[in-house]
Structure 1
Amino acid sequence: MAQGKMLGFVHTGQKMPDKRPAALRKQDFDEIYARFSDASAAEQAGRCSQCGVPFCQVHCPVSNNIPDWLKLTAEGRLEEAYEISQATNNFPEICGRICPQDRLCEGNCTIEQSTHGTVTIGAVEKYITDTAWERGWVKPVTPLHERPQSVAIIGAGPAGLAAADQLRKKGYQVHVYDRYDRVGGLMVYGIPGFKLEKEVVLRRWKLLEEAGVKFHLGVELGRNTDMRVLRAQHDAVLIACGVYKARDLGGPGSGLEGIVPALDYLTASNRHGLGDTVLDYETGKLNAKGKSVVVIGGGDTAMDCVRTAIRQGAKSVKCLYRRDRKNMPGSQREVAHAEEEGVEFVWQAAPEAFLGDARVTHVRAVKMHMGVADATGRQTPSPIEGSEFMLEADLVVKALGFDPDPVPTLFGVPDLKVSRWGTVQVKYGTMMTNLDGVFAAGDIVRGASLVVWAIKDGRDAAEGIHRYIQAQVTAPVAVAAE
């Protein structure tokens, strides 16, 4: 029952941590929010109404015990708050920063529905875990006993890392294989620093290494090794490689220079920020400085691209999206940040052609009419005849989403079952594919999605792998009848 310091929403208004002014924050790639002070965190956590049925928890993919750790924060019991927060989430400090809370926990907060303004759950979650890191409460896993069985995990993104953490807790020998030279996947190379500073991910990598997880970086299945080898070397294999193949956009002029996929653009920027030498960034191919930039798309990746272009010193940045604002798949909070930073949104418009000789100079776009709702409830856009207009552009970034690479071919397992979209099929009770001892989790199963869903899948897969291996270990040996 709620008591003491809770139910503060009746007398305390909603307050986010201080946000740096747009004029300052667009000059660098640092995170835009400061951290709550101890007093502010306690006060904001105390606004929670401690619902009997907490819709914030119901709408959290990892079923985080949000009211419990908000209450403990309000009471100043931060170490206990951290323990409860990390009990269901392997990376609460990452989710606190990059989850679209406005669509998940905060968007479903009861006091938000009653017009008092949501509890600032994400900011408190970030505060709790950053405090835990500072005070030395975050420690590497020490299993109660070591198991001889080993598990191979393909992909060091959120699904693979969550599974590695869970399996290591149970004492398995965990080997993570990744084609990149750093751990984190899109958390390092896709998401910009102003949403997630890289040190936050890199310290998790170090912690997992200290816990005994073995990382094999620069290893790509189909090039350095294949599934046959991993299956022979390990007791189980988890495919958690994510989806990276950019959806393309055809039409006249789509092959012109200066039209680039979003992930190439973001990776170049993130690598540059990490201190790597990136030739395409240095030459200007993947650098928006001084350019008129048009980003096509309306998801969170598009928001990452427009806000990156602003920070690189673009002359102008426009976001072209075929639906209206309320139909955007991306976070509304991100849209607001982008507008504050000087991004211009061109709603209900789609590219029709790209103009230029060898290099793009303009995008010819057409206005869209929002028609009848489709099966998902979203209105279907259709072009308005005679509404064409031109946008100046010498860098066009396509942020249209991602599809899976052909895993059965790349990994050398032609009999691996995939859906008609190319995602790997699993039995959701076990997360196992049709191949014995081969599991899958994250975006490669559900399609491009959120980090928090990848964490949930990684945890589920780890449990499935544990049950599978233990069934093999305890299987009765057939004894011939006397």
Structure 2
Amino acid sequence: MADPKGFMRTPREEWPRRPVAERVQDWDEVYVPGALLPIIRRQADRCMDCGVPFCHEACPLGNLIPEWNDLVSRDDWRAASERLHATNNFPEFTGTLCPAPCEAGCVLAINQPAVTIKNVELSIVDRAWEDGWVRPQPPERLSGRTVAVVGSGPAGLAAAQQLTRAGHTVAVFERDDRIGGLLRYGIPAFKMAKDRLDRRLEQLRAEGTKFRTGTAVGRDIGARELRARYDAVVLATGATRSRELPVPGRELAGIHQAMEYLPSANRVREGDLAVSPLSAAGRQVVIIGGGDTGADCLGTAVREGAASVTQLDIRALPRPERTEAEPWPVYPAVYRLSPAHQEAGELGSAPVSDADARLFAASTVRFEEGADGRVGGVRVADVDAERRPLAGTERALRADLVLLALGFTGPELDDGPVAQLELALDGRDVIARDASFATNVPGVFAAGDAARGQSLIVWAIAEGRAVAAAVDRYLVGTSQLPCPIGPWDRPMRA
């Protein structure tokens, strides 16, 4: 480490956010441009270069965090970029979108604020792009083998890049009109600017990866035909089946899944639509679900000019500090204030809330019909420790737009690769696979949320890298590609 007492001399300092009143007027990223670099060397100095760095264990990519922290603290940014890219194809994606389980595993986090690992990561990759160090890495020779990757989210893109660099001819099939999956249409631009995605796609194209947009496997091309055409197939279609809420009134108009709402808002930013057909402008919005997708809906609704926005979270209000039930180094369920929650809180967007825009320990009992036949309200109740509604606590919230952000249950099972290839499923209705990421159909592999279930972006990238090594080995008998995780590895839990 550059400064053995860095963690004692320097307090944790994070990338400052732009003022709420300013940033809700646009769709740019929420942080102050240029304000990260001046503080990041001192923050990297706080890393203790531990003998047993638990940040490695907490990160499924096995990122070499102490190494690039030390290099940044010594002002060797190019070497830091090389170490960062050695384990992560897309550090700008994780640097903006990952909830940073590595920071929960930081040894400093035992009794101090953790190192700002995520901020250091993003500053390295931004500097690398700015100085021209991120360049295409095409293979020296082609293997003569072909691979189809179905799905262009982080798992599919990571697999495609690794396999292309290994010399295979790779085509990525995406049913939407643009590449990126949820990175393109599910993540709001204020959370990650789309030019971060676009410049990576240009790198992949320059390396030789081919993209086939507007092509739904199972509809535009049969899954069996695809398998016959390519030497191997990687299914990285994601977990796109949204979880439902079967309560009375669900059939009312004005109740939508989050992944109906967010893509429309993103298409406005892409220039496809003048106004979203599901715009929250002037509406009383209730978001059901307390996770990241719900927060994305919240920030989007605020920017669209909603009259009010309330987010329901069935969980109890989290404590500010980790408890004994969630000891270091596991990722704790503590109270976190996302940029979207900060915005809604400061603007008073929720008429009734426990904190920022959220109602905690709240369960949806039923939806109520309004005067126009659409949804007009949400009936909620407090819940007990088992998340069961408590008698006598029911109350009504006004709502003419309800967004369901309850997570995802697995890949689509009908009229697609799963059905057409007769893929085996495990007990969670995700694609079953063996220790080499292979499905029950020879030459067909599965990666990412389609096989793991809903997870974090850092796990998706790790899955993409790992399945690429398995496919490479299947095609040529051996592989030099890294395999950071196995198909059954899971995050550290208490």
TM-score scaled to structure 1, two decimals? Answer: 0.90
Task: Select the residue among 312, 334, 338 that pairs with 1:320.
Answer: 312
Find the aligned partners of 1:28 and 1:197 in 2 and give their Cα distance: 12
Q: 8 Å contact 1:322–1:349 — kept in the other structure?
A: yes
Q: Does 1:48 align with 2:40?
A: no
Tell me the CA shift for residue 325 of structure 1.
2.6
Secondary structure in 2 matching 1:241: coil
Q: Any idea what the Cα deviations from partners look like across 1:139-158, whole Å, max 9, x if unmatched?
A: 01221221110100000110
Alpha carbons of structure 1 residues 330 and 114: separation in structure 2 relative to 1, 3 Å: closer
The 5 Å alignment of 1:69-468 reads 69-101=68-100, 104-115=101-112, 117-277=113-273, 281-282=275-276, 285-326=277-318, 332-334=336-338, 336-338=341-343, 339-340=345-346, 342-343=348-349, 344-357=357-370, 358-370=373-385, 380-407=386-413, 409-411=415-417, 412-427=419-434, 429-468=435-474
Q: 8 Å contact 1:310–1:342 — kept in the other structure?
A: no
Q: 8 Å contact 1:7–1:50 — kept in the other structure?
A: no
Find the aligned partners of 1:173 and 1:341 in 2 and give their Cα distance: 51
- Look up the match of 2:20: 22
Tell me the CA shift for residue 105 of structure 1.
1.0
Alpha carbons of structure 1 residues 329 and 311: separation in structure 2 relative to 1, 3 Å: farther
Q: 8 Å contact 2:7–2:47 — kept in the other structure?
A: yes
Q: CA RMSD in A?
A: 1.9
**Equivalent position amino acid for 1:289 in 2:** A
Tell me the CA shift for residue 165 of structure 1.
0.8
Secondary structure in 2 matching 1:355: strand
Q: 8 Å contact 1:432–1:439 — kept in the other structure?
A: yes
- Look up the match of 2:327: none
Find the aligned partners of 2:248 and 2:132 in 1 and give their Cα distance: 57
For structure 1, which segment, 459-468 or 26-35, has the greater mean C-alpha deviation from structure 2 after superposition? 26-35
Alpha carbons of structure 1 residues 262 and 406: separation in structure 2 relative to 1, 3 Å: closer
Find the aligned partners of 1:275 and 1:415 in 2 and give their Cα distance: 39
Tell me the CA shift for residue 471 of structure 1.
2.8
Find the aligned partners of 1:98 and 1:472 in 2 and give their Cα distance: 33
Tell me the CA shift for residue 409 of structure 1.
4.6
Tell me the CA shift for residue 216 of structure 1.
0.6
Q: Gaps (5+ residues) in structure 1?
A: 371-379, 474-482
Find the aligned partners of 1:26 and 1:75 in 2 and give their Cα distance: 37
Alpha carbons of structure 1 residues 75 and 6: separation in structure 2 relative to 1, 3 Å: farther
Q: Size of the alignment, in residue pairs?
A: 454
Q: Any idea what the Cα deviations from partners look like across 1:149-179, whole Å, max 9, x if unmatched?
A: 0100000110010001111111110111010
Find the aligned partners of 1:42 and 1:419 in 2 and give their Cα distance: 46
- Look up the match of 1:376: none
Find the aligned partners of 2:478 and 2:255 in 1 and give their Cα distance: 52
Find the aligned partners of 2:273 and 2:188 in 1 and give their Cα distance: 17
Q: Gaps (5+ residues) in structure 2?
A: 320-331, 350-356, 480-494
Alpha carbons of structure 1 residues 185 and 342: separation in structure 2 relative to 1, 3 Å: farther
Find the aligned partners of 1:363 and 1:212 in 2 and give their Cα distance: 51
TM-score scaled to structure 2, two decimals? Answer: 0.88
Q: 8 Å contact 2:239–2:412 — kept in the other structure?
A: no
- Look up the match of 1:11: 9
Find the aligned partners of 2:318 and 2:152 in 1 and give their Cα distance: 34
Q: 8 Å contact 1:62–1:453 — kept in the other structure?
A: yes
Find the aligned partners of 1:209 and 1:302 in 2 and give their Cα distance: 33
Secondary structure in 1 matching 2:233: strand
Q: 8 Å contact 1:352–1:365 — kept in the other structure?
A: yes
Identity of aligned residues (%): 41
Find the aligned partners of 2:20 and 2:5 in 1 and give their Cα distance: 33
- Look up the match of 1:60: 59
Q: 8 Å contact 1:406–1:422 — kept in the other structure?
A: no
Secondary structure in 2 matching 1:365: strand
Alpha carbons of structure 1 residues 51 and 381: separation in structure 2 relative to 1, 3 Å: same
**Equivalent position amino acid for 1:443 in 2:** D
Alpha carbons of structure 1 residues 330 and 341: separation in structure 2 relative to 1, 3 Å: farther
Secondary structure in 1 matching 2:380: strand
Q: 8 Å contact 1:26–1:341 — kept in the other structure?
A: no
